[in-house]
Amino acid sequence: MRKSENALANMIQKSSNTTLLQKRLNALHIGAALLENVWNHEAEPHPYTKEEITEARLVLVGLFPSLESMYAKSKAGSPQKTLLERRIKAFHLAVQAMDSYRLSNGD
């Protein structure tokens, strides 16, 4: 999230189109909130609607091919590969939390 926030700040300064990055950043925030919900066993700690969660899920799932491609190209045992492993695992857990939330709320 921090890298995306920094990139967004730089893009805004350069007057670049930030729509895609804003969607990704929002999806990361929603995923993190739902993971915290699961880890803390909280009933309803986030302000997100089902529609926002569904859109965030689609954004995160859409990132898997590029993450997996970068992972395949990274050198075994490198810090980059370790970071990508953790990032992919976190994204999978976030998507699972989103799926669980949607299922438990009638979708």
Q: How confident is the model at residue 65 (pLDDT cuts 50, 70, 90)?
A: very high
CA atoms within 13 A on the CB side of 47: 1
CA dist 23 and 20 (Å) reads 5
pTM over 0.75: yes
pLDDT at 74: 94
Q: Which of 7-11, 16-20, 32-36, 38-42 is most confident? A: 32-36
Mean pLDDT computed over 40-56: 81
Inform me whether the pLDDT recorded for 72 exceeds 90.
yes
The single-letter DSSP state of residue 102 is: H
- Give whole-number Cα distances, 34 to 6, 10, 44, 56, 97, in Å: 23, 28, 9, 11, 6
The larger pLDDT score, comparing residue 6 to residue 32, is at 32
The larger pLDDT score, comparing residue 100 to residue 95, is at 95
- Distance separating the N- and C-terminal Cα atoms of the chain: 28
Inter-helix orientation angle 19-40/2-13, to 10°: 160
